[in-house]
Amino acid sequence: MFCWTTTWAASLPDFTELVKESSPAVVNISTLQKNDELSTPLGQFDLPDSEDVPEIFRHFFRNLPPSQPGPRKAPESLGSGFIISADGYILTNHHVISEADSVMVRLNDRRELEARVVGSDPRSDIALLKIDSDDDLPVVEIGRSKDLEVGEWVLAIGSPFGFDHTVTAGIVSAKERALANETYVPFIQTDVAINPGNSGGPLFNLEGEVVGINSQIYTRSGGFMGLSFAIPIDVAMDVADQLRAQGHVQRGWLGVIIQEVSRDLAESFGLDKPAGALVAKVLADSPAQAAGIREGDVIIAFNGQGISLSSDLPHLVGRVKPGSEARLDIIRDGKHETLPVTIGLLPEEAAAESSPERAIAVANRLGLKVAPLTAEQREQWQVRSGVQVTEVMEGAGAAAGILVGDVITMLNGSQIETVEQFARIVEALPQERAVPVRIVRRGSPLFIPLKITE
Do 11-246 and 360-450 have matching folds?
no
Least confident of 64-73, 296-305, 329-338: 64-73
- DSSP strand pairing (298-302 vs 325-332): antiparallel
**How much is the pLDDT for 1?**
44
Q: Is 125 one of the catalytic residues?
A: yes
pLDDT, one tens digit per residue, over 387-427 is: 888 888 888 888 888 898 899 998 988 888 888 788 888 88
Least confident of 212-216, 247-251, 422-426: 422-426
Higher per-residue pLDDT: 105 or 334: 105
Confidence of residue 218 (pLDDT cuts 50, 70, 90): confident
Please give the average per-residue pLDDT across 185-189, as a whole number.
93
Higher per-residue pLDDT: 177 or 60: 177
Please determine, for residue 356, whether its predicted confidence score (pLDDT) is greater than 70: no
Confidence of residue 157 (pLDDT cuts 50, 70, 90): very high
SS3 308: coil
pTM equals: 0.69
| Given 39, 95, 159, 173, the catalytic residue | 95
**How much is the pLDDT for 85?**
95
Long-range CB contacts for residues 49-53, cutoff 8 Å, separation at least 24: 50/220, 50/221, 53/220, 53/221, 53/222
Q: Is 333 one of the catalytic residues?
A: no
Residues 305, 323: Cα–Cα separation, whole Å: 19
Q: Which fold does the domain 11-246 belong to in CATH? A: Thrombin, subunit H (2.40.10)
Please give the average per-residue pLDDT across 165-182, as a whole number.
88
**How much is the pLDDT for 7?**
54
Each domain of the chain, given as residue ranges in start order, spans 11-246, 252-345, 360-450
**How much is the pLDDT for 83?**
97
37 by Cβ neighbours in 10 Å (0-12 / 13-18 / 19+) ranks as middle
| Given 121, 125, 297, 329, the catalytic residue | 125
| Given 120, 145, 199, 310, the catalytic residue | 199
R_g of the chain computed on alpha carbons: 26
**How much is the pLDDT for 76?**
56
Q: Is 354 one of the catalytic residues?
A: no
360-450 belongs to CATH 2.30.42.10? yes
Q: What is the mean pLDDT of the chain?
A: 82
- The dotted CATH code for 252-345 is 2.30.42.10
pLDDT, one tens digit per residue, over 75-88 is: 555 799 999 999 99
